[in-house]
Structure 1
């Protein structure tokens, strides 16, 4: 069971200073995007983070554990095709997709992708998956995207139907707690768990406030950080066929207000993730 007195779940210990997050020589920082519920923008956000880091000049690898949908893998396939078509280099990680079955292959690919890189970004299936659980234990930063709804919130916590106060953590919070314990036992490291509020509506609503308050309550109990993610914008869905992201502004032509706002969302999200900082600035 979750022990809220343990420093592993103390938000003060989890919101680590960015200067202490240096990857160091030969140290790969593993970022795992994990949520057993689909439809949260998990793969889109994972791709944007990977490309943003590569755009900074970091050495980035990406690993798609969802061999059925393969959204991350297809996104990068489309991006590779675009690079060939336009004849110009774009920031591009090296990437692989797991077969969903082989443990030796998982171990081999994980070792390959964490060699000579600064970051490995892992996208997991929107369902219970043993390889996703194993990846969570390897995470330095574990990102759980969720929409602003109590349907999504129920994955990590339960609320009273009258007061909307948090009554207890849910099974997924317990799962992350176990992953944290296993990681601490293995090498003494702490997993920085980040709940990323994705697809936020641009109109304040009572439901948004209730979800926000519930997240604040639960974060203090089980120890995660809450950061803003990507808004509900058509542009993100339109970018997929070309494999482009909001970082690739030169390929949009004239940018509208929605593009400018989306790029600002990216800046804020990347800053809030507090990842190790490569030398080159983002969105130079």
Structure 2
């Protein structure tokens, strides 16, 4: 059976516009993918854009629960929080690989069709290599890969020598992204803009932090991604999940802003600016 991933330019064929697609992807859990995705979603909503969310990691469903928590909090508190449209795509349990691939392809195409009127789509992918993850990566106009600032996470991008000083070659995730870029190019799609975020940065300078920065700068040139500032290790990001809130909602929700909140909001703004999605200071963020 044909293994090709569907051309993103054809996935919403017959519609008047083609949404821009942001994909959150890596192959390691706990890197802040869902937190980053939700802040991007809310930033786009607060720009007045219509936003669709597709959760390809629907079995774990962290982003789906984040959106649902936001809906419930908005209703219970009477706050008119902007909300995205959400679609979930579950991994197929079909008995054969061919049937599973066809089912997943169809489900994803249906989700894209249902969100074809949106200005922007944000797709969250599973934290492992799978057919659905590869489908999602090929759709990306912008691929955003959060990573914790550690050699463990760096190992997903590159093989490093035992001393942690030299890049030996690309690793499993980088190879997968390269393959999906090739598939997209063969189908006539625009090049994928790959952005790697350094999340959970230590606030103190350290040799480990400097070594990772140096290696990432080398790797960015070698395999073709851009580096962008991510989020520091701040409790506030985890505290907002049960209400479905982001740091861009705190003023509207009436929360008292602490110095930690303000510092974290600046991190969010720096990330948005790096991706080209910055929002003006006079907005409700």
Q: Which TM-score tier does this pair reach, normalised by the shorter chain?
A: 0.7 to 0.9
CA distance 1:281–1:158, shift in 2 (3 Å): farther
1:266 to 246, 265, 268: 268
CA distance 1:175–1:259, shift in 2 (3 Å): same
Alignment of 1:41 onto 2:32 = yes
2:108 to 87, 106, 109: 106
- 2:190 corresponds to: 189
Matching of residues 190-209 of structure 1 within 5 Å: 190-209=191-210
Matching of residues 119-268 of structure 1 within 5 Å: 119-162=120-163, 164-250=165-251, 251-268=253-270
CA deviation profile, 1:160-217 (whole Å, cap 9, x unmatched) = 2226111111121111111111111112410001111111111111101111111011
TM-score, with length taken from structure 2: 0.86
- 1:90 corresponds to: 81
Do 1:52 and 1:282's aligned partners in 2 also have CA atoms closer than 8 Å? Answer: no
Q: Displacement of 1:107 after TM fit? A: 1.6
Q: Which runs of 5+ in 2 are unaligned?
A: 1-15, 93-102
- 1:77 corresponds to: 68
Where relative contact order (Cα < 8 A, 6+ residues apart) is larger, the structure is: 1
Q: Displacement of 1:143 after TM fit? A: 0.7
CA deviation profile, 1:212-266 (whole Å, cap 9, x unmatched) = 1110111111100000111111011110111010010221521100000111111
Do 2:269 and 2:279's aligned partners in 1 also have CA atoms closer than 8 Å? Answer: no
| Structure 2: distance between partners of 1:192 and 1:74 | 28
CA deviation profile, 1:79-115 (whole Å, cap 9, x unmatched) = 00011011121121111111221322222112222x1
| Structure 2: distance between partners of 1:148 and 1:204 | 12
Do 2:40 and 2:272's aligned partners in 1 also have CA atoms closer than 8 Å? Answer: yes
Alignment of 1:26 onto 2:17 = yes
| Structure 2: distance between partners of 1:229 and 1:200 | 8
CA distance 1:195–1:156, shift in 2 (3 Å): same
| Structure 1: distance between partners of 2:201 and 2:164 | 23
TM-score, with length taken from structure 1: 0.87
Do 1:56 and 1:281's aligned partners in 2 also have CA atoms closer than 8 Å? Answer: no
Report how many aligned residue pairs link the two structures. Answer: 258
| Structure 2: distance between partners of 1:278 and 1:137 | 27
Q: Displacement of 1:116 after TM fit? A: 1.1
CA distance 1:111–1:176, shift in 2 (3 Å): same
Q: Which runs of 5+ in 1 are unaligned?
A: 1-24
